[in-house]
Chains A and B, each alone.
Chain A
């Protein structure tokens, strides 16, 4: 019994790290624009598909998993500069624009990569590591390792650097931020770029573990958003823990409900937190969301 328990915790942490990374994307965009980026899940899916294509073209996995986020980030920056910039100051229309963007990206993914779910074989020839009574594949270890690394980098960016604080300032104190010479649009674009990079990267490291199809972005995005909401959307540093909590709850849910209903657990959790404690469970802020 303890074997399965440990295994469940481990796989929960792996999936949760992915959710957490996607959630960080929500959180960075939200902290600089006050809006939710509905295309965040699609960033992950397109990132994964690009990576799969690059690997198929003969590039090594590690190179592809860096190249693909860079390509997607470039595309997203262009979309921001040409279009989203115009509505970046108006959360509601920005949200509608990203909803549209998600529909467009999903359809493009369908046209370019087809209906069948895609994945790639293990980057480490399926090698495994034994931890206590459970096992982790090297692919899963890579997820945990890179999530922790990214987490530390983001923690430093948001709490120690000027850029990180400026990203938050442009939405919370827009006038003061502008008066002190910050250009809100620059920081909003930067947050979209960051969200795209992290999203695509999480898709890349997910691709050896799970198969994704063109519509997977919807659920992935919702789960990422759920982790961000659990942690409190305004605090990018904590989102990863929200993700891990969600991942563990979800993997334990398999013990209680049939596997087909597994995805519902995260969604119900999301709805409960949104209606009962919208400021987040891990957050100390007692601000009402509007």
Chain B
């Protein structure tokens, strides 16, 4: 057991996160904050999954918000129009995210860096146009209202505290799977390919397979997140999944440190608190995160939070050194 934990260091992060989620209700006194907390949990999953594409596979996707949207629409349409049970719709959302994300990742086999960024941006815009134009399914620009609440085994999660509990359990489960994935040979293979495609193909790793795997894993998680979001507000519209959201997600990954699992979680928390603080100007948070991304990319390559931690460690070490000498 101890050895297992040693080989899977990220499970500890997930455990800490799970404890954090279970403590949150102690500080919440009304339903409104349960909704905010649920959005925070969903965002953490989204950011960690995008972090796998960016930090582990070394690719980029400016369509992650759109994949999230596909999951939300699939779940909303299946439960509301076709009477699917929530859990089945949730699985279908993940499958839809999986398929769409593989499609988005396909150009990554031939394109690199900013060309790939543009290609995924193009995909994202296409998906959003489809949300707007397929109005017999998606309700067009007005979106879908009256989405059924989630229900499992006859228990309906209408009350927000209940729903928060459901989202937390699912999220911790998925995060644990992601942690296992990241620490498995797949995760190591991804990092190997990121650092040198040629060298790793000499070792018998197939870059095509692993790159698509990263997109597929991240896409299924994003699809699942979409489903969780659709049954939270029970209202979705194309503007919830705009390109700005995708850019913000990239920003949050960069702020958290592009290879940092725990950084992604902290960045999600930071973002949710910020969003809560500037609620009356929703776009203010975009400005602040835009500025954060800008500063992070210009001054702190490798992430804002890791740079800050390094900075504090350096202070502590140098202070300790002075005492010793």
Known A-B contacts A36-B118, A275-B107; A108 and B113 likewise in contact (beta carbons under 8 Å): no
Judge whether B126 is part of the interface by a CB distance below 8 angstroms: yes
Q: List 19 A-B contacts (CB under 8 A).
A: A36-B117, A38-B121, A86-B299, A92-B113, A99-B117, A100-B294, A102-B247, A103-B290, A104-B291, A218-B243, A226-B122, A260-B132, A260-B133, A264-B130, A267-B122, A270-B119, A271-B122, A289-B112, A289-B115
A83, A111, A219, A275: the one contacting B294 at CB < 8 Å is A83
Q: Is B287 an interface residue (CB 8 A)?
A: yes
- Nearest B residue to A226 via CB reads B122
Asked whether B123 lies within 8 Å of A103 as measured between CB atoms, the reply is: no
A84 at interface, CB cutoff 8 A:
yes
Interface centre among A83, A107, A261 (most CB of B within 10 A): A107
Q: B121: nearest residue on chain A (CB-CB)? A: A222
Apart from A36-B117, A38-B117, A96-B293, what are 15 other A-B pairs with CB-CB below 8 Å? Answer: A35-B114, A83-B294, A91-B114, A92-B113, A93-B298, A95-B113, A97-B297, A100-B292, A102-B247, A106-B286, A107-B284, A222-B122, A274-B119, A275-B107, A275-B119
Tally inter-chain residue pairs, CB-CB below 8 A: 130
A175 at the interface (CB under 8 A from B): no
Contact present for A92 and B115 (CB under 8 Å): no
Q: In the complex, A216 Cα to B107 Cα: how many Å?
A: 25
**A152 CB within 8 Å of chain B:** no
Query: Measuring CB to CB, which residues of chain B are less than 8 angstroms from any residue of chain A?
Result: 62, 106-107, 110-115, 117-119, 121-123, 125-126, 129-130, 132-133, 242-244, 247-248, 250-251, 254, 283-284, 286-287, 289-294, 297-299, 301
Given A36-B118, A275-B119, A103 and B129 touching (CB < 8 A)? no
The residues of A with any CB-CB pair to B shorter than 8 Å are: 35-36, 38, 83-84, 86-87, 90-93, 95-97, 99-104, 106-108, 110-111, 215, 218-219, 222, 225-226, 229, 258, 260-261, 263-264, 267-268, 270-271, 274-275, 278, 289-290
Q: Are B129 and A275 in contact (CB under 8 A)?
A: no
Residues of A within 8 A of B247 (CB): 99-100, 102-103
